[in-house]
Structure 1
Amino acid sequence: MATPPRWSWPEVGAMRPPPGRPKASRTPSSGGGEAYEAASLGPGVFPPASRHVVIASYLLIAGALLLVLWRDLLPGLLFVCLGFLGTRRLARLFDGALPTRFQGAGSSWPRAIAAALVMLAPIGLLVLAFAEAREFVLNAPEQYQELLDYIARTILELRLKLPAEVAVYLPEGSAEVQRMIATYLRAQAGALALTGRAWLGGLLFAYVGLIVGALAGVARASALQGPLALELQQRVRLFGEAFRQIVAAQFWIAAFNTLLTAAFLLVLLPLWGLRLPYEPALITLTFVAGLVPIVGNLLCNAVLTLVGLSVSPIAAAACLIFLIVIHKAEYVINAKVVGSRTHMAVWELLAVMFVAEAVFGPAGLVAAPLFYAYLKKELQAKRLV
């Protein structure tokens, strides 16, 4: 019995009949319209999708994405995509590296090994994290609550922290702005404290999404698929391309930033006799915030500079110079990895992110680059932009 072809994002959406089978013919119906003669296509072959089927596929995908934002399912969606792409990529690598008897289109060994690695890797990382930094992993919300309080105190004491020749240039009304910012930060710290260890539940939910994505990556598509299924596969294919170009590229950029920030905080500053408080929290924040384009970088810059200012003006100046250098390098990487593929200008990305954050909150801020890139791909596929 022939093995049905494997499905991957770059391959779906092709709706041509298999070679050797007749194309669908159209004949006028009794009502004056056109009707497909599906019977001429053979068993298991469906006619091309009608306009109503295409519209239905768009509505289903749009409804699913809105549901993700409405019910706070974004981490699960991101990890589903990550598990799918990771499994497929590892399966292709293993297909060429394994012995010949385990290779071939009909062999399930490469896909099984890839899925197992994708599902087990987070458990290994979590075990390593608990072994090396158990207190930080369990008390992460409390760590960030203390960090926000610390930044709030630094802002209130800004005039005292700055050198006298610089502090005199602060406007008199800045004290009220400082109090407003400090009050906001302390309110966020209080909200963060209420979460307690509930964020571990979010990690569990993301891990379930990773398992779903890995299992979808090894699943084989059914040989019998109707027009709606093919149209939905086309939507998923474009969404997968957007994810690979935006989120995957941003992941590597965030990892690059985090590596350099860790080297700066743990190696360079101690060589100069300077140490910043909350180093683990700052390194983790650099990675998490770095997953959000532009806005995440601004957040990391502000936090790291303020924490450096709490130590000394020299530490703040060192942090600021380091951040300028590292983000100039990041702009080059971002332009090559993301900008050239997605054709998104900075102004439109910022506009979409702020609108999405106003409507959906922090989840909208994170999802905006991905969803907007997918929208542009759909419009480009129809040659509308």
Structure 2
Amino acid sequence: MNTPEAPRPKIAALASYALIGAALLLIMWQGLLPGLLCACLGFLATRWLSPRLGPLLRARDGLAPRLSAAVVALLPLVLIALALPHTRGLIVDAPGQYRELLAFMARTMLELRDRLPPDIAAQLPDGAQEVQRVIAAYLASKAGALALTGRAWLTGLLFAYVGLLIGALAAARPSARQLKPLAAALHLRLHRFGETFRQIVVAQFFIALFNTFLTAVFLLVVLPLWDSRLPYTMALILLTFVAGLIPIVGNLICNGVLTLVGLSVSPLVALACLAFLIGIHKAEYFINAKVVGARTHMSVWELLSVMFVMEAVFGPAGLVAAPLFYAYAKKELQASGWV
């Protein structure tokens, strides 16, 4: 009599795989990645804060999770309210800032020979000018594309905050004691996805925060001591944080942008930027290899291959999502004994 019930867990597991895969594809196609990442962040932050508030409250059960969710939901609003008078242009008009930065880099690339010392400029091959024009045209095209992303940027910020709310509220919800087969399978999929997020994105977040702090000190303190200042300093600091969330490729983006902007000031400043970036990113390579790579069992060639494919399909968002999605897929395959 129990035979018809036997296949249900396997069918539920297959259905959960299909639903999770479809949900991730939908998130990428509809540009909801900021919401997904912030939902995971809100969930983990609430779960981390709740047991720490519990002993302080000494109140009835269930209050600590709800209070933790309220703190996680309100803290970004408080921070934005405090910082907005000083960073309104950077937060609201970020696409315009980066459009100007890309156009500035394109002009710098075209004027490369004029900015280098004569002895070094004379050593450049004749074909270098054509390469300069190609790179400058690419940068100018990206600047033109950013002219249309103002509304998308603000929408992304809204999605990110809504995702944070969803994650915080989900973490504050009491856990169900008994789940039906499909719900149990989905709960397991989401648990593994959350574990992958914690292993990769949270570690990468702190790496990016560390890099951003050092870069801010370099741009706002060290260079001014040498009577040198880079244009678009605040935009460069924000770019360092966002690019730092992308393993490996983010380093290359930061190195290229800061060095080229430094070259617009002087070759010596460009050399100082390059030396500084190589120094701090050596530490990041070590952390990535020892922490992120060891936890997820991902080699560099795997990560780069997946990032290349995801960027080709989904654009820049694919670069951010590739390490998370690939590590999650690999975790599921390992749990099933396939790899």
How high is the TM-score relative to the length of structure 1?
0.85
Partner SS state of residue 277, structure 1 = coil
Residues 46 and 172 of structure 2 are in contact (CA less than 8 Å); yes or no, is this contact kept in structure 1? yes
Q: Which residue of structure 1 lines up, in the alignment, with residue 256 of structure 2?
A: 302
Q: Over residues 212-250 of structure 1, what are the superposed CA-to-partner deviations in whole Å (9 max), with x where a residue is unaligned? A: 110001012334421111111111111011111111111
Match of 1:69 among 28, 32, 36: 28
Q: Output the amino acid matched with 2:20.
A: I
2:15 match: 56
Cα distance in 1 for residues equivalent to 2:12 and 2:211 = 44
SS at match of 2:61: coil
Task: Decide whether aligned partners of structure 1 residues 312 and 209 sit closer, same or farther in structure 2, where only a CA change above 3 A counts.
Answer: same
- How far the C-alpha of 1:309 sits from its partner, in A, is 0.6
Match of 2:282 in 1: 328
- Which region of structure 1 is more displaced relative to structure 2, 255-264 or 131-140? 131-140
Query: Post-superposition shift, 1:137?
Result: 2.6
Equivalent AA in structure 1 for residue 89 of structure 2: E
**Paired residues for 1:69-88 under 5 Å:** 69-88=28-47
Distance 1:278 1:223 in 2: 53
- C-alpha separation between the residues in 2 aligned to 1:228 and 1:73? 24
**What letter is aligned with 1:73?**
L
Q: Is the Cα contact below 8 Å between 1:154 and 1:310 reproduced in 2? A: yes
Alpha-carbon distance in 2 for matches of 1:76, 1:135 = 23
The percentage of counterpart residues that share the same residue type is 63
Distance in 1 between the 2:91 and 2:29 partners?
Answer: 28
Letter in 2 for 1:117: V
Q: 8 Å contact 1:141–1:197 — kept in the other structure?
A: no
Q: What is aligned with 2:100?
A: 146
Matched, 1:282 2:225: no
Q: Are residues 1:236 and 2:190 paired? A: yes
Task: Tell me the amino acid that sits aligned with residue 266 of structure 1.
Answer: L
In the TM superposition, what is the alpha-carbon distance from 1:166 to its structure 2 partner? 1.7
Closer/same/farther in 2, CA of residues 143 and 164 from structure 1, 3 Å limit: same
Q: Conserved in 1, the CA contact under 8 Å of 2:40 and 2:197?
A: yes
Structure 1: which 5+ runs fail to align? Answer: 1-26, 37-46
User: Which one-letter code corresponds to 1:112 in the other structure?
Assistant: R
**Of residues 304, 317, 325 in structure 1, which corresponds to 2:271?**
317
Q: CA deviation at 1:48?
A: 8.3
Q: C-alpha displacement at 1:183, in angstroms?
A: 1.1
Give the number of the structure whose alpha-carbon radius of gyration is greater: 1
Equivalent AA in structure 1 for residue 37 of structure 2:
L
**Counterpart check, 1:206 vs 2:165:** no
Secondary structure of the corresponding residue to residue 194 of structure 1: coil
Are the counterparts in 2 of residues 139 and 197 from structure 1 also a CA contact under 8 Å? no
SS at structure 2 position matched to 1:72: coil
1:352 is aligned to 2:306: yes
Matched to 2:235, the amino acid is: A
Give 1:153 deviation, angstroms: 0.6
- C-alpha distance in 2, partners of 1:171/1:128? 52
User: For residues 258 and 286 of structure 1, what CA distance do their matches in structure 2 show?
Assistant: 6
| Counterpart-to-counterpart distance in 2, 1:359 and 1:200 | 23
Aligned length: 339
Q: Distance in 2 between matches of 1:275 and 1:382?
A: 54
1:123 maps to which of 73, 77, 101:
77
CA displacement, residues 64-114 of structure 1 (integer Å, 9 cap, x when unaligned): 111111111111111111111111010022123x14x32xxx611211121
TM-score, normalised relative to structure 2: 0.96
One-letter code of the match for 1:243? Answer: F
What is the distance in 1 between the residues matched to 2:157 and 2:273? 31
| Structure with the higher helix share, 1 or 2 | 2
User: In structure 2, which of residues 205, 223, 228 is the aligned counterpart of residue 251 of structure 1?
Assistant: 205
Kept in 1: contact 2:9–2:182 (CA 8 A): no
Q: Distance in 1 between matches of 2:174 and 2:221?
A: 49
Q: Say if 1:57 and 1:232, in contact at 8 Å, map to a contact too.
A: yes
Divergent runs of 4+, >4 A: none
Q: CA deviation at 1:49?
A: 4.5
Deviates more, 1:48-57 or 1:299-308: 48-57
- Structure 2: where are the runs of 5+ without partners? none
